[in-house]
């Protein structure tokens, strides 16, 4: 709570008076114009309601006399409404989604609208819409707000000049004489004290320190008292005194009863009217109980640290358990995929056997076998994807690395996809600079390319083009930001002319069971292909990422090091 008569109390009183004045001026200057504006708005609203009801009666009466042809006689409606339309009012009649009549000029906001429905034989035949500008009302409202703002500003300026400033000057003169008392009140304590220019005590109020624990202190310096401080601490204290700095000193005292108590003193220098140093004044208090509480808190903190360490250990164990559970999940997927593949082979084998051995069966039986084969093959693709993904996540996928021509592998995959591309009227074009020899598992890299080409053909419109590009690329494989470990690599990209991928989904399309929001409806796919592609790329110490082409369509880029041995890289500082 602020003490009365202080600068803080004076400032609080001024702020309170300002708030009261502002509130009174705002209420007196703002509410009457605002009430007039609201009254105008209510009057206009009532007028619009009456006018719309009157015009509805006219239109509905005219429509009831011509129920079959009133919508086609706009000129008659125009004559009926024009006589009763006041200036500044926009009137329109609508029926079945089209405007039959519109009288008046278009109005810009703000405006007020009224709608009335035209009913014939109990059914909705149309509606009449009346629009009136409220610009004048808004202008009056803005003027009222401006006046409500300016009035308190002017009044506060007058109060500042003729009321607040004289009040501050009067209080400043009064507070100068009370400076000593304010200093002691601000430093509330068990006792207060004063020292002369030689740091001898001249004033010491009654308290635990004055005549209790160590007897009288008047005429003595602080270092002449039985205070348990080292010479270094006393040197620092004398340096503060000689530099005329404020100080805060804590120390223990051995009392006459043999007990040890802790005290804290704070002091500040004071000067006479000629700014000549006179001495120090300050306060002191017994902090023995505070020191004991601090020690207890330290003990609790140490115990809390032990509890935190124990909980952290439990969190680490839970994390390890979660990782183990995730590993178990991957291993489970790998095993269950094998169990699913075995009976699926039997289904496909028997279906193909029945399809081949029926020399002249009915066409219906033949179609059954064909559907069995098609469904089994689709299910086998899904099971193979699940098996590959589970193997990659479980670390069981073995890559058979060997140096091979990336270009030859790409040409072979393109030949496989040419039939599907020609059926859809799409051209596949290859752009390659050299033979592009790379150390890789050719079958797995071909699996990536088949998946990317299948997606590109699926999303490219007939007559479009899919471009496959092979080009050299230097790869930086440094772990830290400043590392420059350069490997020679290759870049394989597949660009289509499809709908593209939203920028927010360029990363998530590689997650399991995730498809782009632009292509996941009606285009097929399980959402596993790109996840498998990313795992295979990581298996080759490469990367795969997606982007969008400026001319439209998506582009998927695969980067691979030419050699899997990173020591062949070039290190740059």
* CATH, residue 248: 3.30.450.20
Structural tokens at position 295: 């020690």
pLDDT-derived band at 7, boundaries 50, 70, 90? low
pLDDT-derived band at 52, boundaries 50, 70, 90? confident
Strand partners, 548: 554
Taking each helix axis from N to C terminus, what angle separates 442-459 and 529-539, rounded to the nearest 10 degrees? 150
Longest dimension (CA), the chain: 131
Q: What is the pLDDT of residues 243-283, one digit of tens each?
A: 999 999 988 887 777 788 888 898 999 998 889 999 999 88
Whether 157 is in a domain gets the answer no
CATH number at residue 367: 1.10.287
Strand partners, 247: 267
Whether 169 is in a domain gets the answer no
Distance, CA of 344 to CA of 383 (rounded, Å): 9
Residue 351 and residue 333 in one domain:
yes
Contacts 24+ apart (CB under 8 A), 266-273: 266/187, 266/189, 267/193, 267/195, 268/183, 269/244, 269/245, 270/180, 270/183
Residues ≥6 apart with Cβ < 8 Å to 385? 526, 528, 529, 532
Residue 51 belongs to what domain range?
A: 7-138
Whether 444 is in a domain gets the answer yes
Residue 329 and residue 281 in one domain:
no
Q: What share of the chain is helix, strand, coil (3-state, %, to 5)?
A: 50, 25, 25
Whether 154 is in a domain gets the answer no
pLDDT-derived band at 114, boundaries 50, 70, 90? confident
The pLDDT value recorded for residue 568 is: 44
**Residue at a domain's end among 397, 427, 461:** 397
pLDDT-derived band at 324, boundaries 50, 70, 90? low
Structural tokens at position 69: 């042809």
**Residue at a domain's end among 368, 397, 426:** 397
| Average pLDDT, integer, range 199-227 | 72
Whether 145 is in a domain gets the answer no
Q: How many residues does the chain have?
A: 573
Strand 484-495 to 277-286 pairing: unpaired
Residue 410 and residue 548 in one domain:
yes
Residue 438 and residue 558 in one domain:
yes
Residue 99 and residue 41 in one domain:
yes
Whether 418 is in a domain gets the answer yes
Residue 389 and residue 524 in one domain:
no
Ranges 150-154, 399-403, 454-458: which has the least confidence: 150-154
The pLDDT value recorded for residue 430 is: 92
Residue 63 has pLDDT above 80, yes or no: no
**What's the number of domains the chain is made of?**
4
Residue 319 and residue 427 in one domain:
no
> Measuring CA to CA, how many Å separate 356 from each of 221, 235, 292, 378, 398?
117, 108, 95, 20, 36
What is the percent of the chain where pLDDT is above 90?
Answer: 14
Residue 226 and residue 303 in one domain:
no
The pLDDT value recorded for residue 396 is: 67
The pLDDT value recorded for residue 518 is: 65
Whether 37 is in a domain gets the answer yes
Residue 226 and residue 240 in one domain:
yes
* Residue 477 and residue 485 in contact, taking contact as beta carbons nearer than 8 Å: yes
Residue 403 and residue 496 in one domain:
yes
Per the listing, tokens 């006399």 go with 65
Average pLDDT, the chain: 77
Query: CA Rg, the chain, in Å?
Result: 46
| Average pLDDT, integer, range 355-383 | 64
**Residue at a domain's end among 103, 138, 173:** 138
Distance, CA of 166 to CA of 346 (rounded, Å): 104
- Of 411, 399, 485, residue with least CA distance to 442: 399
Whether 2 is in a domain gets the answer no
Residue 391 and residue 451 in one domain:
no
Residue 77 and residue 207 in one domain:
no
The pLDDT value recorded for residue 496 is: 92
Ranges 109-113, 222-226, 556-560: which has the least confidence: 109-113
Q: What is the pLDDT of residues 127-169, one digit of tens each?
A: 888 888 877 777 777 777 777 667 667 776 777 777 777 777 7
Q: What is the pLDDT of residues 510-542, one digit of tens each?
A: 877 666 666 655 444 556 778 888 988 888 889
The pLDDT value recorded for residue 181 is: 59
């Amino acid at each position: 709570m602020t003490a009365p008569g202080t600068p803080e109390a004076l400032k609080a009183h001024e702020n309170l008076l300002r708030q009261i004045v502002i509130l009174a001026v705002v209420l007196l200057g703002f509410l009457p114009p605002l009430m007039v504006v609201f009254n105008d708005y209510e009057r206009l609203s009532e007028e619009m309601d009456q006018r719309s009801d009157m015009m509805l009666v006219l239109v509905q009466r005219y429509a009831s006399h011509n129920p079959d042809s009133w919508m086609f006689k706009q000129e008659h409606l125009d004559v009926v409404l024009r006589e009763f339309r006041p200036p500044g009012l926009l009137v329109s009649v609508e029926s079945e989604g089209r405007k039959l009549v519109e009288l008046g000029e278009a109005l810009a906001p703000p405006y007020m609208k009224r709608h009335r429905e035209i009913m014939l034989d109990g059914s909705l035949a149309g509606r009449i819409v009346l629009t009136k500008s409220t610009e004048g009302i808004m202008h009056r409202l803005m003027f009222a707000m401006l006046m409500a703002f300016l009035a308190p500003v002017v009044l506060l300026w007058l109060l500042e000049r003729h009321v607040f400033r004289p009040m501050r000057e009067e209080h400043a003169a009064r507070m100068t004489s009370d400076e000593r008392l304010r200093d002691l009140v601000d430093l509330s304590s068990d006792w207060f004290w004063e020292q002369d220019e030689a740091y001898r005590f001249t004033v010491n109020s009654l308290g635990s320190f004055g005549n209790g624990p160590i007897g009288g202190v008047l005429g003595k310096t602080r270092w002449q008292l039985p205070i348990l401080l080292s010479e270094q601490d006393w040197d620092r204290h004398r340096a503060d005194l000689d530099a005329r700095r404020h100080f805060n000193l804590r120390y223990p005292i051995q009392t006459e009863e043999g007990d040890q108590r802790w005290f804290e003193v704070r002091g500040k220098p004071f000067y006479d009217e000629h700014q000549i140093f006179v001495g120090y004044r300050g306060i002191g208090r017994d902090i023995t109980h505070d020191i004991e509480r601090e020690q207890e808190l330290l003990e609790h903190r140490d115990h809390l640290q032990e509890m935190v360490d124990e909980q952290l250990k439990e969190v680490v164990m839970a994390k390890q358990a979660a990782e183990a559970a995730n590993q178990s999940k991957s291993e489970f997927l790998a095993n269950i995929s094998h169990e699913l593949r075995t009976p699926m082979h039997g289904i496909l084998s028997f279906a193909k056997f029945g399809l081949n051995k029926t020399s002249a069966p009915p066409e219906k039986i033949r179609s059954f076998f064909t559907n069995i084969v098609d469904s089994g093959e689709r299910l086998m693709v899904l099971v193979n994807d699940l098996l590959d993904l589970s193997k990659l996540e479980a670390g069981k996928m073995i890559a058979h690395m060997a140096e091979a021509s990336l270009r030859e592998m790409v040409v072979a995959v393109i030949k496989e996809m040419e039939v599907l591309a020609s059926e859809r009227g799409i051209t596949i074009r290859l752009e390659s600079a050299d033979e592009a020899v790379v150390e890789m598992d050719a079958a797995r890299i071909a699996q990536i390319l088949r998946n990317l080409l299948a997606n590109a053909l699926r999303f490219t419109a007939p007559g479009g083009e899919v471009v496959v590009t092979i080009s050299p690329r230097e790869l930086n494989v440094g772990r830290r930001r400043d590392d420059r470990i350069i490997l020679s690599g290759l870049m394989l990209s597949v660009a289509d002319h499809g709908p593209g991928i939203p920028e927010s989904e360029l990363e998530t399309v590689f997650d399991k069971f995730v498809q782009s929001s632009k292509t996941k409806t009606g285009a097929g796919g399980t959402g596993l292909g790109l996840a498998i592609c990313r795992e295979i790329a990581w298996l080759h110490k490469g990367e795969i990422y997606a982007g969008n082409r400026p001319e439209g369509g998506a582009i998927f880029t695969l980067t691979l090091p030419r050699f899997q041995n990173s020591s062949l890289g070039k290190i740059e500082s």
